[in-house]
A and B are shown apart, each in its own frame.
Chain A
């Protein structure tokens, strides 16, 4: 229970279904950041309030050290390499569906449940009924074994339905605003967060065609492939980031939206993970290259995905997640 409306309703539904429920708050991050106070204490209190409302037991699992080592450090390292990682995926893989699951099972639980918008069936991961909220993209690195011990009670509802159901039950958190973006960074920009951990130097923004310096950046790690906004480049056509040279601290841009380096039909994946069995090489599947991106038909051979149509700004460090209809198969990290 994070203190948000989703996990609050999850607990309420489980109780109504007749389960013996124990609410758990995972204490992953408590540090304040410049310009942003970490609201963990309020979130913990809200989670506990709901547990009290439901009359269920409530515990705190302290994973601060593991979260720093396995999620935050991974994220920082990836950015240093010029990639744009997804810490939520890593958090699910390492913390929620490994540490949390193991600790819960050790403490006598039969299964865990979270407020994710997703569904499970016989150890398979399925997309949520609310396709707009579907969170399977963030769950593709979870093992089939973990999923066999997991319940996603919200999978069949839409977000507005969840809010309405929370209100109906008078849950304390029914009207609480959703937290945004990366769980621990919250409202603060990733830029401010990274600045705490990585020394960044200003460098040149270079037009990849003319090879002319067209502007200055304040650290190449802050830029993501395909990014248009936030470039300190004046006048004329909008520039898009096409590549980065981390060693030379150069960000390459183009005004040509059709620049071939922005478009890809083949993706090479690292750290490939299949939830159940590996997909067949001669079958057509669907792939998603970032959260909420449209599904694109594809085929897979080893760690190479071939897209049916070219996609713009496939970002190294982000994940390509494959689907067979409603079933999320797994995927890998774009190289």
Chain B
């Protein structure tokens, strides 16, 4: 019982995810800055930001619904942490594996997006309203390609659970077949995390802060924490499904390989942030449905053909 409690609260649960998300934010911001020929923030910047935001005054607009207003950041954080507990990090099994946990993790990762939309709606301010409409429209654009891309390797392995997918690929090189789906998954992950070029819901220069305009102080700190944790959880999901190697016997080696996988994925995400301008919402819909969904479909077709062959 205590072992399970330690697993959930400290490692690899709440505390470990918290620390890793702060390190992930520092790494991402430092890469972004260095690619723009700037110095970037010092290592303690994410911690300092979090503590500073916690110490600010909490202002709730008179029009807003106070109870839901306060609960939504916690919903975002908690659903992200629960999703993290079900992803295998350095061994074949996650904490509580069951059949179908890939789909469960994907569903849990949709909850934060819905909480952003509700946060915008219940703030009752014009900027947040526009932000809500954009969050929900963007959800329609990237959700289907993301699901299809993440589930393509699972289709090849004929199972919906992480454990069987990892043991199917084992130590073979079969995971190289899924590279197109990996590309689609990285692009749609950027959409889920709402970063440039898909940060339309939180476009700073257009709608101030979008859905988070009326959030101040501690509530905003938890939303930002939820966004950072979502980065780590999304990167871990992509790493577990597309790079199913490095789950040998030595736990320390697995841990190092896990960190390297996450570092590589965050590097790709930071690169995407640097290279592109922000898309408009109608351009994003066209882009996702015209280019991403067909590639994901193609990958699924290839996987089905390979499965039938062997």
Verify that A and B bind, or say they do not.
no
A residues sitting closer than 8 Å to B (CB atoms) are none
